[in-house]
Amino acid sequence: QVSGEYSMIKAAGANDWIDEERVMIESLTSIKRAGADMILTYFAKDAAKWIYKNRK
């Protein structure tokens, strides 16, 4: 994921134009669904917090 995409998602989330968490997860899920074995992203800390919060 590139810094521009990350910045757009963060800015839109800060302005309440989108659900930032939902868009982040959808973006990361689509990368994995496309076949990635590893995802390097600026969202790493946010994604880790979301995974920890939503584990069962």
2-53 pLDDT, tens digit per residue, is: 899 999 999 999 999 999 999 999 999 999 999 999 999 999 999 999 999 9
Number of domains the chain is built from: 1
pTM of the model: 0.82
Torsion of CA 42, 47, 49, 52, to 10 degrees: -150
- Residue of 2, 11, 12 whose CA lies nearest to 40: 2
The whole domain housing 25 covers: 3-53
Q: Please give the pLDDT value at position 56.
A: 74
Q: Please give the pLDDT value at position 1.
A: 73
